[in-house]
Structure formats: C-alpha cells, structure tokens
Amino acid sequence: MGSRVKVFIRLRPVMKKENEDGMPQCCAKKATEKRLQLWNYRNPNSDVLEYEFDKVFSDDAAQSKIYEDVKSLVPNVLNGQNATIFGYGPTGAGKTHTIVGSREEPGLIPRCINYVFMLMKARELESKQKETFSVHFSMLEIYQEKVYDLIKPKEKDLPIRQDATGNIVIPELTEVKLSSFNEFTHKYQSASNNRTIGSTKLNSRSSRSHTILLMKVVKTNADNPTKKYLGKLYLIDLAGSEDNRRTGNTGIRLKESGAINSSLFALSMVVDALNKGLHRIPYRDSKLTRLLQDSIGGTAHSLMIACIAPEPSFYWDTLNTLKFASKSREIVNKPFTAVIQERPAKRPHSSDADKGNPEAKRPLLDKDKNQKKVDKENQDATVVENLKKLLSPIGKKQQEFENNFAKRLKVLEDQLKTQMGKTEPKPAPLKESSKANVPVNKVRPLMAKSQPALCKTPCAGKKKIQFDSPEDQGTSFSNASQLSLPQMINGPGGVCNTPKYKITLDPKMLEEYEAKLIKTLSTGSIKAIMALPTIGKKRAEQIIKYRDENGHFGSISELLKVGFTKTMLETFRKKSIMHRLEIA
C-alpha cells in the first residue's frame, strides 16, 4: 500500500513591514487549516491564489504544535520502516529554526529523538523485555556536492553506494551507538558545531550545506532472536535557495550558493520525473537526490515542512516554494518493513574452546589413549548399525538383483554351450551345390567351422581369428568382446584350453559382398556411405568428392586414394563382411 508524501506549510512571522510596488505588507496568509492564500501578481486588485496542503501553520504557531502533528511518523521506525522529515524553503524562511530549534525552543530533531527513546522504553516495559531495541546515530552534510562526516570529520569526500537490496549506504560514515537521550544530546551538539555556516545579507547564520541526521533503530524479539527489524529515521535541514542579487554573495559564498541551487534544482527535476511517471528518475544528478532516493519516491513515510516568508521581498521565492510543495504532494512512496534474518551462531570449535584450558594441552596418558580408542570404536559401531538399519531395504533389493542376474547368466551360459555343440550333435556341413541356391541374407553358416584344436599356449585373453581367403591368409585380429565365451576362459597357469577355430570364407560370397560395397561407394548417398563401418561424415564427404571427380570405384583398394591407410582398408573390409551388412 502506498503512502503519499505529506506537505506542511509554516509561515514565518513578519520581520519588518515593507510596501514595494503596491504589494501588501504581507503577501501570504493562512486561510483555513489546510489552505493558504497568496497575493496574485497578475490580478492584484481582486483575485488571490489558493493552495491546499495537509496542514498550514500560521506565523504564531509554537514549536510544540508543529511537533504534535509531525510525531505520528516516528512509531513507524520502531516497526522496521523508514521515515523522513525535512525542511524546504528559501534562505531566511525559518527552516533551521523549525528542524533544529534553539535551547529555549527545541526543534523537531531533539523532540523526535526524545520521542524515539520514550517509545522504546514503553515497548520494552509492555513486552516485559521480550522486545529490545538498539539505536545508532549518524550525521553528515553535503557541502559543495561533497559528503562530509560531522561526528568524526574527515578531509575526503565520502562515497555513496547502493547495496544488494537497493538501499543507499555510505560505507565510511561514522555510526555511534546510543543508550539514552542525554548521550544523543552530547553527540549531536558536538556534530552540529562541525556544520558549515556563513553570513549573508539576509541571514547572519545561514546554512551553507544540507545537513542529514540518520537514526537507525533495530528491534529484536526474544522469541526469535535471529529475526530483526531495521527502521531508519531521517531528519534533514536543507540549505535554502538564494538569489545572489539580494544576498550579495561573492567569492566563496557565490560558489556555495551555486552548489545549493544546483542540488535543489536536481531535487525539483526528480519530483517532476516522478509526477510524470518517467522511466528514468535522475537521482544520480546530485548527491542530495541520491541520498533522498528512499524518501522521495522510495520506501519511506515522508513529510515536508515548507517554510515561507510572508514579506513582499520574498514573494517570488514564496511562489516557487509553494509550487514545488504542491508537486511533491502528488508523490506516492511505497514503504515496507525491513527484516534482517541472521544466521544462528556457529558452535565453537574444539580448538577455540581449549585455548584457555591448560588441561587440554597436557599429553594424553596410555589409559587416556586406550579409552579414546574404545570410544571411537563404539561410536563407529553405532554408526554402522544405524547405516545398516537405514540401508537394509536398499541392500535387500540389491541382493535380489544379484540373484536374478546370476540366474540369467546361467541360462545364457547354457544357451552358448548348446550353440557351440557341447550339448547337441554338430550339424552336417552344407553341400557345395546347395550354397548357390540360398539367398545371401539367409545363409545360415556364413563362416564354416573347422575341427577344433586345443591351444596350449598362453594368449592373455585375446583370441585370434584367421581367414582362409587368399587375400586374408596370415592376417588376424583380436575381439575379446565377441569371443568371450565360457569355454574361452584361460585355465590354471595361464594356459588357454580354448578350442582354436579356423574360419574359412566362401570366395563367391566374399565377391558378392565386395561388389555391394563397391556399389555403395560408387552410387550410394552420404547417409548410406556413413552406415558403413569406420566411415564418418567427413570421410563420406571425401568419398563423394572423389567419385564426382574420378567416376565410380573399380575396387575397394581405391579408398587408399581418399586417405585410407592399408590398415584402415583391411579393417574396413573385415568389419563390413563380419557384420553381414546389407548394402543397397
């Protein structure tokens, strides 16, 4: 839910009566509790300009009256939300008197901070110390577009950063933890003395910088100590806009007024951008708007007190202030509760706990070592028992899987024995005349087996297959995955008792397969060529390029011209024949 920026107007008492160019002695006055009337320079005889705000205070309003209407924003800070109260107006209009005040008439800063401590004590008593609060105080000024620490002044300009959550922070800004309002008074008075002020024709103690006081309040609940609420209270006294023709500024004062007017102009541009709903809000155009990013269009409950001077000589300053205040009243902020979730504290390491214990440093005796060993064994045994209970369902399933796997291996072994002729008589060899009438894709024994002969030499698990064709006589290759039959396992002593099989190829069938290989290489598509063993996409593209330039392949040996080596060529032939490829 949004929270609109509230705007209060405070009239300063008339310092001296003036009458310039037919203007009245007082050009602005309070009409009602929420309306202000201003002399109309366009129609001075009859009409007046009226502005409506959340509250209008007359020139006789006391400091306490303004505080009573402002303090409603303070309790939000104790609930983890942000609140901002700042004064705006031309120089000499009474901003510092309203925000800071004096010893006789304290302003909003001391009254609001005192109210914070009062609320904290009341909340702690009501919750019976279940809710506790901690307060941190910071104070800075923006002087000529540079940020300076007022509690512990430093020579350098402090950087402004934005953290991961989008909050504006000043890493090197001093934070002081406070326990009472009296402690705040002492720290605040010391910081205020470091503020830059100067004398002009309109004000003997004119603020030459924007001053920002930041109060952080952290709430912790005893029921959940890791969950904390962070609220921030900003109390801001802006420097007033200046007309150098009336203030008579020269030299350093002229430079100061230029920086002040520039930052206030940037603030006006931010307000205009927010009211128009622009995508880019120019917060970064000034240090002031950068720090007010949470307060104007951000996440804070904001209240502006626009101070105006009723004298005719301040008419144009008053008119500009009222226009700016009216625009600011249309801004809607989006406050939320900031929660900090801390991790629970880690348990101290044994080495840390033993640092101050001299007994921990003495050497262990034998009985202590034995006892430590027994304790370790007992602990390990307990862990093993717990793991057994936890893993027993998994172990049961694993055992069932292993038993089923062993049964399946036994069945497969019996089937292999049957195929190798151990459990059934060896089939009669095919007649030579019948081979020609059988289709190639239905030939049952592609390679006829010869009589087995036992090999008595160690073979290290590798089985040799020999071809009886004229071209393949004497060549061999190893294929342990296809020949790992139970009967081919080495016996004791590393001696292979495996029957040695001599593979004889049918020359006619070999010619038919080679003819189909040549046809595929000569006319097949790239997909068909890639289906051949040992040929990938790159090699297939080289084959197609070669045949486009030189015509069809006359023999498989022409692959040597494509980049095949002799070893690659032999491997290609054997794998093609062994796998009985159907070549289109």
> Could you give the dihedral angle defined by the CA atoms of residues 214, 216, 217 and 218, in that order, rounded to the nearest 10 degrees?
170
SS (H, E, C) 448-506: EECCCEECCCCCCCCCECEECCCCCCCCCCECCCCCCCHHHCCCHHHCCCCEECEEEEC
> How confident is the model over 454-483, as a mean pLDDT?
42
**Nearest to 290, CA basis, from 142, 151, 174, 165:** 142
At residue 378, the pLDDT reads 77
Q: Is the pLDDT of residue 425 over 70?
A: no
Quick: pLDDT tens for 98-110: 999 988 899 999 9
DSSP state at residue 347: P
Q: Is the pLDDT of residue 472 over 50?
A: no
Does 311 or 369 have the greater pLDDT score?
311
At residue 559, the pLDDT reads 85
**Nearest to 449, CA basis, from 433, 470, 435, 465:** 465
Q: Is the pLDDT of residue 539 over 70?
A: yes
At residue 510, the pLDDT reads 77
Which helix (DSSP H) or strand (DSSP E) does residue 50 occupy?
A: strand 48-52
pLDDT band at 16 (very low <50, low <70, confident <90, very high): low
Does 24 or 308 have the greater pLDDT score?
308
> How confident is the model over 231-240, as a mean pLDDT?
91
Q: Which of 52-66, 403-417, 493-507 has the lowest mean pLDDT?
A: 493-507
At residue 500, the pLDDT reads 47
Q: Where are the beta strands (DSSP E) in 238-321?
A: 300-308
Quick: pLDDT tens for 297-325: 888 999 999 999 888 888 888 999 999 99
Does 535 or 11 have the greater pLDDT score?
11
At residue 135, the pLDDT reads 95
At residue 277, the pLDDT reads 86
Q: Is the pLDDT of residue 174 over 50?
A: yes
pLDDT band at 429 (very low <50, low <70, confident <90, very high): low
Does 57 or 347 have the greater pLDDT score?
57
Q: Which of 149-153, 274-278, 348-352 has the lowest mean pLDDT?
A: 348-352
Q: How far is CA 257 from CA 96, 248, 331, 549, in A?
A: 17, 11, 27, 87
Q: Which of 92-96, 109-113, 390-394, 450-454 has the lowest mean pLDDT?
A: 450-454
CA 534 to chain centre: 49
Q: Is the pLDDT of residue 215 over 80?
A: yes
> How confident is the model over 502-531, as a mean pLDDT?
78
The three-state secondary structure class of 36 is: strand
Does 554 or 88 have the greater pLDDT score?
88
Q: Which of 70-79, 353-362, 561-570 has the lowest mean pLDDT?
A: 353-362
Q: Which residues contact residue 330 at a Cβ distance below 8 angstroms, ignoring those fewer than 6 apart?
A: 4, 5, 275
Does 22 or 443 have the greater pLDDT score?
22
At residue 374, the pLDDT reads 75
Average pLDDT of the chain, as a whole number: 78
Strands 466-467 and 502-505: parallel
Q: Which of 142-151, 222-231, 439-448 has the lowest mean pLDDT?
A: 439-448
At residue 468, the pLDDT reads 42
Does 281 or 379 have the greater pLDDT score?
281
